[in-house]
Structure 1
Amino acid sequence: MNDTATASITAVSSSSPLMKRLLRNRFMYMMILPGLLYFIIFKYIPMWGLIISFQDYLPYKGFAGSEWVGLKHFNKLFSEPQFWVIFRNTLILFVYNILFYFPIPILLAIMLNEVRNAFFKRFVQTIIYIPHFLSWVIIVSISYVMLTMDDGIINQLMAYYGFPKINFLLSDSWFHPIYIIQVIWREAGWGTIVYLAAIAAIDPQLYEAARMDGAGRFRQIWHVTLPSIRTVIVVLLILRIGNVLDLSFEHVYLLLNSMNRNVAEILDTYVYTAGLKQGQFSFSTAVGFFKSFIGLVLVVLANKLAKKFGEDGIY
């Protein structure tokens, strides 16, 4: 029986180009398998749970026993004035991310690429990578220590130089600057990794040709470096646009308080409040479904727009 099965597999593999490729690259596919299983188990199978956004879900009745209500929760979502305030807050933070955070890793990568001292370059890279490995709890706690009204070092310096103290943590006008500065502080260094790898892949002969034509360092960056990593920039921008409504819940939740809620409440914190605190499982799932749908639509549109401008896009 075993000999027969082996012979059958051998016959199939010898007649099928697909089987030949699978057998030839079997070790590579084995390496891909854990990541594939992760996405199937934790990303695709949970999509089945989206069905409860069309039900009045009750945990003791389950998916099959809960009452089907159609678009009830979506109608409730779009009819609440509070939702549009939260939606606006989410979009504002996303725009801040694109305008102020997204270019920073590109600039840092270009600056690091211009450093000729290898030791200093590695030292700077290590320093700017470290914040990424700190949790948002630590990042926000450090900011709290620095910005408190009474003992914060920033307010103490302002008082020392004769300026009035500012209650940064309870001010809705300071929420956005504090948020984006923390994002840049924690993620900008880590974001340079992809761009540095893309810059390292640029053919050195392009720089030599530019120097022979009389181009200085800035013109080399503008005419060689940036065009060479443009595809990477576009791909990462498209992926970032896909997360337009998916901001860091933990980060915003730690900054959220009763005084800045009108500008700090976003969809992620709203889902937490409605879903876990108030037990509105179906309604919070509808909010999550809406977020995912908007992200999917924007990724498709951004990808088509990128292709119209001659870029490869993400698919």
Structure 2
Amino acid sequence: MSMRSNILLEAPEQNNSLIYKIKRQFKIYGQNKYLILLFLPGLIWFIIFKYGPMYGLLMAFQDYSLVKGVWGSTWVGLKHFQYLFTGPDFLPVLKNTIIISAYKIIFGFPAPIILALMLNEVKSTAFKRTIQTVSYLPHFFSWVVLAGLVMMALSPSVGIVNQIIQAFGGKPIFFVADKQWFRTVLVATDIWASIGWGSIIYLAAIAGLDPELYEAAVLDGANRWQRIRHITIPGIAPTIAVMLILRTGSILDAGFDQVMNLYSPPVYDVADIIDTYMYRMGIGGFQFSLTTAAGMFKSVIGFVLIIITNILSKRVSEGEYGIW
């Protein structure tokens, strides 16, 4: 066999070697160096603020001491997890978290989708931009400001909502201090604060649909509702699936900022969630190891739920919709 034939036979083996793959990968990086530079600030942010602090999870397995630090504190194994799951406070807090978050998913998740579908059908550009601006605005305010507005609007003495109720012969309701109404207030105000910003993703997905599909549907005699049902909704279904998977993964995040600024002792029984429990025990009670264990529990459950919902989504959609 000639020398040329030997080289050709050896080439595939060399191409599959680890060194060749590394060199090839770095060559690709070199060709896309400017894109990598644009990506670096975000990567550095995640390394510093997300991955860097992860060593603090060790506190969940220690009796953490501020004086001794993470590496000098006594190791206690699963002691704090055992206390967390058997203690009298955690199960009610977990129940409140799941209920509030489930309400927000059931009622709040479809809200930006509906708004995006409605805005897509608006022909007046000025009216559409006005609605978008008004609905986006609450997103740019902190819950400290929004909670103050909610308190004023729902005040039993001067609030506009109670004034309307009294105008129709009803009695004023102290919404934010009433156990029967507080969760409703949380869900309604969460929708108000997030519906506009959340609709941006779905409007972008709708903008990416082929206009020829709508033109063909009009020629076939499809009305507006039929075009939404058979073109728009199926077209944005992958986006909806991904957003639902991510939202389900954060089911144990019921909105710390919102609850912290709205709740009060009369509604603790229905409003105390994992995040406020962690804040109270960690910052107020200096039980850093216990709150770290609670946070780790949240992260593990969220990770498991994302995997499960992604698998279910791919099975239901026959492999079409999913994160990976």
Query: Shorter-chain TM-score: which interval?
Result: over 0.9
**Distance in 2 between residues matched to 1:206 and 1:80, nearest whole Å:** 58
Structure 1 range deviating more: 204-213 or 25-34:
204-213
Match of 2:122 in 1: 115
Amino acid at match of 2:81: F
Match of 2:305 in 1: 298
Match of 1:225 in 2: 232
Runs of 5+ unmatched residues, structure 2: 1-18
Percent same amino acid among aligned pairs?
47
Describe how 1:149-228 pairs up with structure 2 within 5 A: 149-228=156-235
Question: Is 1:33 matched with 2:51?
Answer: no
Please, which of 244, 268, 284 is the counterpart of residue 277 of structure 1?
284
**Distance in 2 between residues matched to 1:156 and 1:124, nearest whole Å:** 26
**Distance in 1 between residues matched to 2:269 and 2:143, nearest whole Å:** 22
Question: Is 1:44 matched with 2:42?
Answer: no
**Distance in 2 between residues matched to 1:122 and 1:151, nearest whole Å:** 32
SS of aligned partner of 1:207: helix
Match of 2:252 in 1: 245
TM-score (normalizing by structure 2): 0.91
**Distance in 2 between residues matched to 1:65 and 1:127, nearest whole Å:** 53
**Distance in 1 between residues matched to 2:204 and 2:171, nearest whole Å:** 46
**Distance in 2 between residues matched to 1:97 and 1:248, nearest whole Å:** 10
Please, which of 233, 241, 248 is the counterpart of residue 234 of structure 1?
241
Shift of 1:160: 3.1
Cα deviation per residue 1:236-295 (whole Å; 9 max; x = unaligned)? 011101111122211101111110000000000000000000000000000000000100
SS of aligned partner of 1:32: helix
With over 3 angstroms needed to count, the CA separation of the structure-2 counterparts of 1:212 and 1:303, relative to structure 1, is same
Runs of 5+ unmatched residues, structure 1: 1-11
**Distance in 2 between residues matched to 1:81 and 1:61, nearest whole Å:** 30
TM-score (normalizing by structure 1): 0.93
Structure 1 range deviating more: 154-163 or 52-61:
154-163
Match of 2:80 in 1: 73
**Distance in 2 between residues matched to 1:28 and 1:74, nearest whole Å:** 44
Question: Is 1:312 matched with 2:321?
Answer: yes
**Distance in 2 between residues matched to 1:264 and 1:280, nearest whole Å:** 21
Matched residues, number: 304
Cα deviation per residue 1:48-71 (whole Å; 9 max; x = unaligned)? 100100000001101121110000
